[in-house]
Amino acid sequence: MFPYRKSLANVGVNVKEISFKSAIAQRKVEPAGFAFFLVYEWNLSLDHHLIYNPESIDAVPVHVQTVAADLLQRSEKLTNVYHLKLQWARILAAFEQQNCNAQQDQVHHGVQSKKAANSTGGKTKRLTSHQNMGLVREFVQGGLNAYQVLECDDSYDTAAIKVNYKRIVLFMHPDKATTGHYAADISNFCMRFNVDVEDLQGRRRLFQAVQDAFVILSDPVTRLEYDCSLPFDETIPTPEQAKCCDFFSLFGPVFKSNARWSRVKPVPSIGDMDTPDIEVDAFYEFWRFFDTLRTFGHAAPHLIEEAESREHKRWMERENLKVQKKLIKRELARVQSLVELAYNFDPRVLRRRMREQKERDERAQRQLEAQLEKQRLEELEQQQKQQELEREQERIKCERLIIKKLYVMHSFYHFVGDNTFVALLQSFHKGRNLRRIWNDLLNSALMS
């Protein structure tokens, strides 16, 4: 709660006095002016001079008198009340100067309008303004469609709209005589609005509607505000519909209708099943960063043209901006929901996912086979090394055995003599039993 509002709520109660942090009064009030703050935040129904002269208040609500008296009582204790009142006085002077300038502008504008009317033979031209939301609201509330009134649609440019306007306004001008006959190019307009059965007042109202429609559609900003105020189908498909319906026939019209609000042109199309993947990615990339043109000015709670002062106008703009930001945020969230739903059910995306999954599976299978082959080769190499080691060990064992046998045979040779050793060798070559030969060698060694 603001400190000034606290002082109002706690009048007559023993609470902490108002204090300021520095020599200049600091306040948590948006720069719209103290006078406006008092009138619209505290709901004080008093004129500006009463704000600066609290002692002269007599015919105002009780709480206003209490606040004024409280300020007078605190004037000696608060060293910054002078700065506060000085700022109020400056605001009042600014308001008075603004009012004087506005009156001078009105007088000057009236003189210029009279001069323009005299120079054009008494015919005044309606001026367009990008802030003319009042005209847009009145036209929408009247139940007419500006595009239908001018026999056009939202794809027409300003030049084409101007051509239709001239054609219709020449026929509907109140000074023209109504004979009941009309050209073929105006027949649709006459049948749609029943021009033949309208009386003079009805034709004048229709003529005014034609002029208002042209004012709205001829100015790009006002036309955008009018387009935003028209009914728009914001529904998006549901997951159940996306499962059972054709993707392109379901989502194509939805994206096409929402594309009219894109700030970036041209908008990529949804394509078909033969669209390359790079274009599909570009389509969804565009919609993920969608920037909308919808301003939701028709939903603004305050009409700027009705502002009584500059501070009142700024306050209205801030309040309108809060509502518009909230609606724009909701609009962008709706578009992103549409994009995510379409991306999850897009057959091209699903096909690419399946293809990529298949490629990943094949790559994983190849990696597994390569790993198994590598493991098999390692095992085979290990077996070969083991076999070579076993053969080497067997060779060493055999060599040791041969050396040992040679040593034993050499020893026996000395024991048994040449004749006996030669006889044993001959027996070995003749295939006699080795055990028997060995026993003979042992016996010969023992006998010697």
Taking only the tens place, the pLDDT of each residue in 410-442 is 666 565 556 666 666 666 555 555 556 666 665
| Maximum mean pLDDT: which of 8-22, 39-53, 80-94, 268-282 | 268-282
Distance CA 366, CA 359 (A): 10
Instruction: Find the length of the chain.
Output: 448
pLDDT, tens digit, 9 for 90 and up, residues 239-260: 999 999 999 999 999 999 999 9
Q: Is the pLDDT score of 95 beyond 50?
A: no
**Could you tell me if 134 and 305 are in contact, meaning their C-beta atoms sit under 8 angstroms apart?**
yes
* pLDDT at 235 exceeding the cut of 60: yes
Paired with 292 in beta bridges are 262
Helix (H, G, I), strand (E, B) or coil at 189: helix
What span, in angstroms and rounded, lies between the C-alpha atoms of 294 and 308? 28
Express each pLDDT in 375-398 by its tens digit.
999 999 999 999 999 988 888 887
Per-residue pLDDT tens digits for 307-343:
888 888 899 889 989 999 999 999 999 999 999 999 9
Q: Is a pLDDT exceeding 60 seen at residue 63?
A: no
Residue 140's nearest CA partner among 198, 220, 213, 219 is 213
Provide the CATH topology of domain 133-229: Helix Hairpins (1.10.287)
- Between 96 and 31, residue with greater pLDDT: 96
Q: How far apart are CA 350 and CA 29, in angstroms?
A: 55
Helix (H, G, I), strand (E, B) or coil at 152: coil
Average pLDDT, the chain: 73
pLDDT of residue 144: 85
Exposed/middle/buried for residue 75 (C-beta within 10 Å: 0-12, 13-18, 19+): middle
User: Residue 160 corresponds to which amino acid?
Assistant: A
The two three-digit tokens of residue 216, written as one number: 């709205």
Predicted TM-score (pTM) of this structure: 0.56
Could you tell me which residues are beta bridge partners of residue 262?
292
Residue 251's CB: how many other CB atoms inside 10 A? 22
The string of pLDDT tens digits covering residues 64-79 is 455 555 554 544 444 4
Whole-angstrom distance, CA of residue 112 vs CA of residue 120: 12
DSSP letter assigned to residue 13? S
Residue spans of the domains in the chain: they are: 3-119, 133-229, 242-345, 352-447
Closest to 146 measured CA to CA, from 230, 205, 234? 230
- Assign 30 a pLDDT band (cuts: 50, 70, 90): very low
At residue 359, what is the residue type? E
CB-neighbour burial class of residue 71 (10 A; exposed 0-12, middle 13-18, buried 19+):
middle
Residue among 39, 47, 42, 84 at smallest CA distance from 63: 42
